[in-house]
Structure 1
């Protein structure tokens, strides 16, 4: 075989191997999503309808959940869907960009190679633990970690060969190995530096990897392993234990289930029914469809909890009509991204669920407290949209008659009822914040089949796979960030941070102002969930000590991160909005800043008036 043909043949083999392995893992992950839904729903029905608890349901759900998280992470790795910052890598010259893409796979390979033996050891030790209800060895659950890491390692190796070719794959592995060797050689010199190592590993190394486009979960993981292995006597297996703890909170089961629910809302036509009603109600007034966009995102966010699903449900329905009415593409994507930031606190937001799981704040209280701050920011965005539409001619717009509005309302009522059903089920004690999503899923299936009759069985499999992929990406970040947060806490950093924050001038006001600024920056670099997992356990105790209500503080930091997440040039949420809208990011760069400044002003009001967040608790 000629030398030039060898890389082509290697890539073809790699593509076939990756496709076969990926199909098997995707099928298993999709089945796990369906089984988890069925198990939790069975527990709700048994307890509420038959007044008999299934004592084994939560235990089985916990075992399967870790498997779902790890297999979902494998699927996300194969699809290139792990969260990472690509703003700089995409602007690099072609040759450097290709090398950075290879490094984004090679660095996770190093993480997996370093951690896999410890994951195996951890699973072996868990075999001595027996579950109380099913009486199964703990290794049945813990084995998900080494199996998932092993599969991810295989996928990563094949993916690196496929996307980079043999030459660039070897070069990227050599670069990663050389950097690791330099750190290992410098280990004896690093130990005497004390907490200065926190800056080296958790600021310098993490920042370098994030900017290079390495997935965030692996940035956290590599920095934590390097810090513990080279500067402390703590065994690296602790990282596996912390990851297991971070990914195993049963409350986090709400993440895949609400993602699944959001996709069902879009597929069954429920989201479209709500949007059509709002358009008939407000579409004829000046800037009316902008109000509809803001309101639709608020309603849909209250159902799906996933911003990508929210935007994908709303934009294709509204944007064609808004274009016909003369809206500029840049204005459309700017408002869509702004509404993504505005609705970060609307329950059942995945960030709310995450913040509750890592800080111990009541999920029910967060769900209640998040409604009004989102509504306040909705009003702020509508005011900006109204001002920008002040000179627009609306004389030619058709005003729907009362009968048409009532008809669209009648069609939308089954969809509009879902957010109230979810909230009522939690408040009345029918289901927990984790289980309530299964009620929503059952409701969406029934309404889709019997009322809207748009349930497409062919899309169910891909939706389950997408759910597992996004869930795995989120949960792996939570696991890695939990390990990193533990290392920071053990170093004494949390005490130093608490002392520094307590010494800020201005008391509560100064603390909230610094928190807003810090989380805007963190949201643009780390995204909401990893930033919350990393800094929530550190800052929430400080907020309590300073007399700031936990729910109030949660609203402030979540909305601040939303601005960072959806503001260009680094906010990945903005680029997601552009991709969903099929609008160039350049077109929205200028108009979005008016909306972002308005949101910032709204957050200042929310921070200054705690009642907005806690008035209904």
Structure 2
């Protein structure tokens, strides 16, 4: 069964079949060859995969991100980040990274960060004398922070599968997300100094207080969302509704950039994005169920147990496995397929499922940067007007830092779990 499932899936990927269809077709073909399981199992398992109150947060966060971007929030966040770090050597690179850290608290999506911020910053960096491969690498790698700093769509998906607290996952993402940002800024500074990139003097930058005033309402949004979740006022799903209402109010009555016509277009775009995401989740859930039925989890546990009984060593092997998968498969399918398979394994090793969730999300978002399937790199290359191979020179050191932060979190769990412990989660 497993042979047919994996063989069909990878053959379909090799002929460039969209991954959601590859997952669904591979599952259907395997069920047709099995005398025990009925073919309609794929439909029932797909329905179970999306029939979750928690997953309602996804369309609301997508809509909120679309509304906030249409309101001109992106420009205000970039201006504020520029006033903070634009004077450092390689200034616009640091602006890109810090903007991604702020924007992560609004969109919860890496692809939203890559497209919204990249369309502004990559052309500006090229115009100011930065090499295209550097601009693309900075945008692609910094966009990976989006699903780590809360709120995070990927953490919502993991929490719904693993049945763990979304609030705890959000809290656990703070330190790793900030560590990623600081690490990327260190690499950006080193390369900027090596390539002799300039930075404008402080006098040419907008004043910090003025830019903060302009961006204050945007920066207040994640505070309201996270404060409401952590205080217990509303759930993560209800937080999505609050985010949409907040974005609509400030866009209509404060910034006055939203119209009924524009809102209609944004809702259609958000509906298309949501439908694609939900179809992917449904097909990945069916695929994951078939893996579990075939005993893939027990096989993984047996292999890991045969190599080492040390939880840290086992977790590092799992991370390496996920990183390799990320070279060929998108992040969300990996998360949905392997979370239910690996959860019994990590629980048997005594690893906290919240800690494992953050490690899983970190691992799959790094896969979103690394070619040949790295969607964040593809988006950034399209904006920068270069090929993936041209971007590789600049991408390697930034990916190395992301991997370093990941293994640092694996080796030192308090980096992930201290903040949830402080807040009693």
**TM range, normalised to the smaller chain?**
over 0.9
Query: Aligned partners of 1:298 and 1:396: how far apart in 2?
Result: 20
Contact preservation (8 Å) 2:122, 2:139: no
Query: Aligned partners of 2:113 and 2:163: how far apart in 1?
Result: 27
Could you say which structure has the larger radius of gyration? 1
The Cα offsets for residues 476-503 of structure 1, whole Å up to 9 and x where unpaired, read as 1211121122222222222222222233
The Cα offsets for residues 341-370 of structure 1, whole Å up to 9 and x where unpaired, read as 233322222111111111112111111111
1:497 aligns with 2:300: yes
Contact preservation (8 Å) 1:342, 1:599: no
Q: 1:438 Cα shift?
A: 1.2
Secondary structure, aligned partner of 1:467:
helix
Secondary structure, aligned partner of 1:355:
helix
Secondary structure, aligned partner of 1:591:
helix
1:442 aligns with 2:245: yes
Of stretches 591-600 and 224-233 in structure 1, the one that deviates more from structure 2 is 224-233
The Cα offsets for residues 564-601 of structure 1, whole Å up to 9 and x where unpaired, read as 22112232331122224444434312110111111111
Contact preservation (8 Å) 2:330, 2:373: no
1:250 aligns with 2:48: no
1:266 aligns with 2:82: no
After superposition, residues 98-113 of structure 1 pair within 5 angstroms as: none
Query: Aligned partners of 2:403 and 2:70: how far apart in 1?
Result: 34
**Which structure has the higher relative contact order (CA within 8 Å, separation 6+)?**
2
After superposition, residues 229-308 of structure 1 pair within 5 angstroms as: 229-308=32-111
Query: Aligned partners of 2:22 and 2:283: how far apart in 1?
Result: 9
Give 1:374's aligned residue. Answer: 177
The Cα offsets for residues 132-175 of structure 1, whole Å up to 9 and x where unpaired, read as xxxxxxxxxxxxxxxxxxxxxxxxxxxxxxxxxxxxxxxxxxxx
Give unpaired runs (5+ residues) of structure 2.
Answer: 421-425
Query: Aligned partners of 1:371 and 1:392: how far apart in 2?
Result: 32
Runs of 4+ in 1 over 4 A off after TM superposition: 391-396
Give 1:523's aligned residue. Answer: 326
Among 399, 422, 438, the alignment partner of 2:225 is 422
Give 2:361's aligned residue. Answer: 558
1:572–1:318 CA distance, 2 compared to 1 (3 A): closer
Of stretches 406-415 and 563-572 in structure 1, the one that deviates more from structure 2 is 563-572
What TM-score results when the alignment is normalised by the length of structure 1?
0.65
Give unpaired runs (5+ residues) of structure 1.
Answer: 1-196
1:386 aligns with 2:213: no
Aligned residues: 420
Query: Aligned partners of 1:343 and 1:464: how far apart in 2?
Result: 22
1:231–1:393 CA distance, 2 compared to 1 (3 A): closer
Give 1:365's aligned residue. Answer: 168
What TM-score results when the alignment is normalised by the length of structure 2?
0.94
Q: 1:228 Cα shift?
A: 2.0
The Cα offsets for residues 376-395 of structure 1, whole Å up to 9 and x where unpaired, read as 11111111111011156688
Secondary structure, aligned partner of 1:481:
helix
After superposition, residues 32-431 of structure 1 pair within 5 angstroms as: 197-199=1-3, 201-391=4-194, 397-400=200-203, 404-431=207-234
Contact preservation (8 Å) 1:286, 1:392: no
Query: Aligned partners of 1:455 and 1:429: how far apart in 2?
Result: 31
1:404–1:345 CA distance, 2 compared to 1 (3 A): closer
Give 1:479's aligned residue. Answer: 282
The Cα offsets for residues 63-121 of structure 1, whole Å up to 9 and x where unpaired, read as xxxxxxxxxxxxxxxxxxxxxxxxxxxxxxxxxxxxxxxxxxxxxxxxxxxxxxxxxxx
Secondary structure, aligned partner of 1:344:
coil
Contact preservation (8 Å) 1:264, 1:444: yes
Q: CA RMSD in A?
A: 1.9
1:248–1:505 CA distance, 2 compared to 1 (3 A): same
Contact preservation (8 Å) 2:91, 2:198: no
Contact preservation (8 Å) 2:335, 2:364: no
